[in-house]
Amino acid sequence: MVQLPIIDNLMYNVQRQGKLAFYMTHYGEEATLIGSAAALANDDEVLGQYRELGVLMWRGFTLADMMNSSFGNCEDPCSRGKQMPMHFGSRKHHFHMISSPLATQIPQAAGVAFALRRDPSRRGKNCAVVYFGEGAASEGDFHAGMLFASTIPSPTLFIARNNGFAISTPANEQYYGDGIAARGPGYGMHTIRVDGNDVLAVYNAVKEARRLCIDEGRGVLVEAMTYRVGHHSTSDDSFAYRPRQEVEDRKRLDNPLARFRLFLEARGWWSAEEDDALRARLKDEVLKAFKKAEALPKPELREMFEQVYGGEEPWTLREQREELGRLLKKYGDVWEPWKTELKKHKGAGKELMDTKP
C-alpha cells in the first residue's frame, strides 16, 4: 500500500516531463486494490481494467517488470513494447492482459470462470476475478457478464471499484438506483458492499465473497466504495469538473493509508520512525528501478510483427513489415522524427531495412 503512491508520484511526474507516454495513478484506491489482492489465491485468474497494478505487484510482479513494461523497452515482460503503458499482463501471475476497450474483460471473466468449472484440476479451487469501475458497469458488457455467470453458473467474482467518477462523469449522473450492489440480486447473486478505504474490511469482504464463489460455483458481486483522488489519467485534468477542495478534503479525512497506519499505531504495531524508514527505502528502490528501465533500449523494430498471430504468419503482416522496411530505408536518415526514434531501438531498424521480399 505504501509503495503504490510512491510509484504513482514518480511516474506521474516523469510523464509530465515527457519521459513516459502515459500513466494512471491509484491515489485513494490503495485499500481496495491491496485488500482484495490479499484475499485471493495467487493462482485465481484476474482480469483487470487498468487501475489494478497493486493487485499484480502483490502477486510478485516486480518493480523492474513494472518499469520495463511502462517504458516498453527490450526487457518488457508483458508485450515487448507492443502495448501502451498500464496495460499489464502476466501468465506467470495469472493476470490476463489488460485491453483498452471499456468493460470487455467482464464477459471474458465469466468465460474464464466457466473454463475453470470445466477443468477437474481447478474446479472448486479457483475462481476468475474481474475488476472494473462503476463507469464500466454502465456498459452492456457488464450485464452480459453478470447474466452469463448467473444463468450458466460459473465461479466469477465481480469487484466493482466505485470511485465516484467515470473519467469526468460523477456517479450521480451514471445511475439513478443504489449504486452497483443493487444490481446483484437481480441476477440472483450474493452481493457485498464494503468500505473500499478500509483495507481490513475489503480483505474480509473479498475473502468471504471468494468463499461463496468457490463453494457454490456461482457469481458473486462486491462493490467497494472508494474515491479517486488522482486525475483519471495523465490525459485528464479533474479540476475542470470537480472542486480542488473536495479532493483535498477526501485526502485529509478518508485516506486509506492514513487510516491503516493509525490502526497499527494505536495497537503499538507500527511507529512514525518505522514509517519514515519504510518510505525512504521504497523511494530509493522505485527510483533505482526507474533509472535502470529508462536507460534500456527499446526492442528491435522487427519484434512488433512477431508473436502477433499464432500459427503461420499471414501475408498481410509480411507485407506490412516489408513496406516499413522500404520506408525506413528511404526516409529513416532523412525525416527527423524517425531519426530520433530509431536511435532508441536496438539495431535502429537496420534488420527491417535489410529484409528482402
* Domain termination residue (choose one: 290, 323, 339): 290
Residues sharing a CB contact under 8 Å with residue 65, sequence separation 6 or more, in sequence order: 77, 78, 90
Q: Is residue 183 part of a domain?
A: yes
Question: Dmax over Cα atoms in the chain, in whole Å?
Answer: 71
Q: What tens digit of pLDDT does each residue of 187-214 get?
A: 999 999 999 999 999 999 999 999 999 9
Kindly report the average pLDDT of the chain as a whole number.
95
| Per-residue model confidence (pLDDT) at position 353 | 85
The residue with cell 476468475 is 128
Residue 295 lies in a domain: no
Q: What is the pTM of this model?
A: 0.94
Angle at 137 between CA 131 and CA 141, to 5 degrees: 90
Residue 296 lies in a domain: no
Q: The domain that contains 286 carries what CATH number?
A: 3.40.50.970
Answer yes or no: are the C-beta atoms of 257 and 2 closer than 8 Å: yes
Are 214 and 124 in contact by the 8 Å Cβ rule? The answer is: yes
| Residue numbers of the domain that contains 154 | 3-290
34, 183: one domain: yes
Tell which of 253, 269, 290 closes a domain: 290
**Do 196 and 249 share a domain, yes or no?**
yes
Contact present, 218 and 249 (Cβ < 8 Å): no
How many CB atoms neighbour CB 129 within 10 A?
33
**Is the pLDDT assigned to residue 356 strictly greater than 70?**
no
Last residue in a domain, options 290, 324, 345: 290
pLDDT at residue 310 greater than cutoff 90:
no
My answer on whether 40 and 132 are in the same domain is yes
pLDDT value of position 6: 98
Same domain flag for 211 and 337: no
Q: Band the pLDDT of 307: cuts 50, 70, 90.
A: confident
Say yes or no: 130 and 267 in one domain: yes
In the residue annotation, 91 being an active-site residue is answered as no
124-163: pLDDT as tens digits? 999 999 999 999 999 999 999 999 999 999 999 999 999 9
Q: Are residues 209 and 310 in the same domain?
A: no
pLDDT category of residue 355 using cuts at 50, 70 and 90? low
Catalytic residue, chosen from 26, 210, 232, 250, is 232
Between residues 356 and 137, the one the model is more confident about: 137
Task: Kindly name the residue from 117, 193, 228, 261 that is annotated as catalytic.
Answer: 228
How many Å apart are CA 295 and CA 177, to the nearest integer?
50
269 shares a domain with 310: no
Is residue 241 annotated as part of the catalytic site, yes or no?
yes
Shared domain check, 339 and 213: no
Total domains, the chain: 2
Residue 261 sits in the same domain as residue 125 = yes
Looking at the fold, whether 240 and 306 belong to one and the same domain comes out as no
228 counts as catalytic: yes
311/185 same-domain check: no
Written as nine digits, the cell of 357 is 521480399
Catalytic residue among 16, 241, 281, 318: 241
State the burial class of residue 251 (Cβ atoms within 10 Å of its Cβ: 0-12, 13-18, 19+): middle
Q: How far is CA 342 from CA 3, 133, 294, 322, 353, in A?
A: 34, 38, 16, 17, 12
Residues 349 and 214 in one domain: no
Lowest-pLDDT choice from 92-96, 102-106, 247-251, 350-354: 350-354
Give which of 202, 197, 198, 267 is closest to 28, Cα–Cα. Answer: 197
